[in-house]
Amino acid sequence: MKIIYMGSPAFAVYGLNALYQGGHEIKAVVTREDKARGRKKQLQSTPVKARSLELGIPVYTPSDVNDPAFIEILKETGAEVIVVSAFGRLLKSELLSAFPLGVINIHGSLLPQYRGASPMNAALRDGQTKTGITIMYLNEGMDEGDICLKGELEIGEDENFASLCHRMGELGGSLILEALAKIEQGTAPRIPQNHEAATYCQLMTREDEKISWSQKGNSIHNQIRSLSPEPGAYTYFNGEVIKLIVSHWENDDRCEFDDAPGKILFMDKRKGVAVKAQGGILWLKEVKPAGKKQMKANDWYRGLRNKEMAVFTDDSNR
């Protein structure tokens, strides 16, 4: 099948690879523009652009994907269908209707749950034990189109975003091949969503990354893994930002430690660094102090000078 692929982040690379390896003819890839990143503000391509160039596929980075002139460029490729995966732009009616087989989306949740931009982060943050991929037909709404296929995955209690993204990407790649085969055969279902059951998630912000020690400890653990390893949930230690990258939650309402949440208690060679939190102990496995590389939490703890007074705080003034 002749395809135009639209996507940007690492998650979308899985779908691109699946289509390429599945023998589909990818006529063009559309992705976000290069952005200045890092301390040196060097221009970096999206993961999808980088992979597309490796595969020798023409790449477009339009400022407006819905521009009529750009739509004409896409139509000239002779593509039959557009496949979208984490593209980050709403497509308007003229583009949605420009190709014979329409526009198909690989969405990272079991719709109608978690419509929006950060479904995998949201599922982890909310402590969900199950999620999955939905292959859907795009319309002008926010992930409101009819469903073609779904596939489910269990979420591990300590699973982080990177791990879930990998498994979801693999599942999405498998399902998009199955969906396109059904579409080509004329046997693909179109199942309307239950809009009354819809939930939504927004783009993650800097505020979403900040840990509040007033919340339940299991919520902090879920926050950490939903942002791990990048961008990372952060707190403050001695007035400086430190990112908590890998953790494990040990629920114990009868916790013997009377310290305030955020107090760093002790180190265990196997479990990591114990931190008091509401409802039990948050075990830290890996952290990233300001200006340093990610490291084992135990190695960080060994370097502390005044362990008895060590505490994480909600702001830099404490």
What percent of the chain stands above pLDDT 70? 97
Residue 253 has pLDDT above 80, yes or no: no
pLDDT, average across residues 80-85: 98
CA distances from 254 to 87, 102, 135, 178, 219 (A): 46, 57, 45, 50, 18
pLDDT band at 36 (very low <50, low <70, confident <90, very high): confident
Half-sphere exposure of 286 (CA within 13 A, CB side): 14
Give the model's pLDDT for residue 316. Answer: 74
Question: pTM (2 decimals)?
Answer: 0.94
Give the model's pLDDT for residue 81. Answer: 98
Q: What is the pLDDT of residues 233-243, one digit of tens each?
A: 999 999 999 99
Q: Average pLDDT of the chain?
A: 95
Residue 177 has pLDDT above 70, yes or no: yes
The distance of Cα 314 from the centroid of its chain, to the nearest Å, equals 25
What percent of the chain stands above pLDDT 90? 92
User: Per-domain residue ranges for the chain?
Assistant: 2-201, 206-313
pLDDT band at 246 (very low <50, low <70, confident <90, very high): very high
Q: Is-cis flag, bond preceding 231, omega within 30?
A: yes
One-letter identity of residue 119:
P
CATH 3.40.50.170 fits 2-201, yes or no: yes
pLDDT, average across residues 274-300: 97
pLDDT band at 256 (very low <50, low <70, confident <90, very high): low
Residue 277 has pLDDT above 90, yes or no: yes
Q: Which two tokens stand for residue 302?
A: 């060994």
Q: What is the pLDDT of residues 97-139, one digit of tens each?
A: 999 999 999 999 999 999 999 999 999 999 999 999 999 999 9
Q: Which two tokens stand for residue 29?
A: 């890839």
Give the model's pLDDT for residue 252. Answer: 80
Give the model's pLDDT for residue 11. Answer: 98
The string of DSSP letters for 150-168 reads: EEEEE--TT--HHHHHHHH
Question: What does residue 135 show for φ and ψ, rounded to 5 degrees?
Answer: -95, 120
CATH architecture of 206-313: Roll (3.10)
* Calpha distance 68→64 (Å, rounded): 9
Give yes or no for a contact between 114 and 128, defined as CB atoms under 8 angstroms apart.
no
